[in-house]
Amino acid sequence: MPFGRWARRAGRRAGVAAAGAAAAVCPIAAPLSSAAPKCPDIEVVFARGTDEPAGIGNVGKAFVDTLRPMVKGSTVDTYAVQYPASWDFMKAAAGATDMSKRIQATAARCPKTKIVMGGYSQGAAVVDVVATSPVAGLGYSAPLPAAVVPRVASVVVFGNPSARLGQPLTRMSPDFGARTADLCNTNDPICSLGQDWNAHITYPKSGLIKLAAQWVTRHVQPPPAPAARR
């Protein structure tokens, strides 16, 4: 074989070998996946009641399960407020801090998400702190900035201890009062002067869950477009 042809063939083989070695040393990087957050249309930030199971609790679950079919076409996510929900009621401040931090994080990360703040029993007291305390104190360390307040589309509380003292959240909070449904089951001794303790644990069976879901639906869905004039 003439030297020139042999040299060209050898050069091609060397080039292929070099390319293979380079690929082994420097593998082709896979395309990076998008790191954009997934933002729901609605996020329910809910604080469970005393001794309820971890998560959003039985009352919170009943509320969200009722809300979802009412807001057809909208995605609904939940966030369970992290706090003990124990008989040490001073720990409610820790729940308020966690709730406020979550609302602030969601507002920053998901500018189009409508936030719903909710709680049951001791969890309602957690909501009270967030909704009425513009400054830190007594274990509450993350007040909602004024700029974030409008991002909370609606508030629902069940069995709110403050209501028993004649201070429902609708009256206590100038910022959130008009957006709040403060609901008390008939004769519930936690939120009224009643004496029926069974009333405090039967919210999922009461009509108040549906009433709360209807209230929130009105606040998170855009109003219907006006009819065209003829």
Rounded CA separation 180/86 (Å): 25
> Quick one: CA dihedral 63, 65, 70, 73, positive or negative?
positive
- Known active-site residue 188: yes
CA distances from 208 to 59, 78, 99, 176, 205 (A): 10, 20, 23, 20, 8
Alpha helices (H) along the chain = 3-25, 57-67, 92-109, 122-132, 161-164, 169-172, 197-200, 208-220
Q: Which position among 98, 128, 182, 188 bears the catalytic label? A: 188
- Known active-site residue 86: no
CB 45, CB 83: distance < 8 Å: no
Residue bearing tokens 């996946």: 33
Q: Which position among 121, 154, 162, 173 bears the catalytic label? A: 121
CB-count burial class (<10 Å; 0-12, 13-18, 19+) for 187: middle
- Known active-site residue 121: yes
Q: Which of 184, 71, 63 is nearest to 80 (CA)?
A: 63
Q: Which position among 98, 128, 154, 200 bears the catalytic label? A: 200
Active site residues: 121, 188, 200
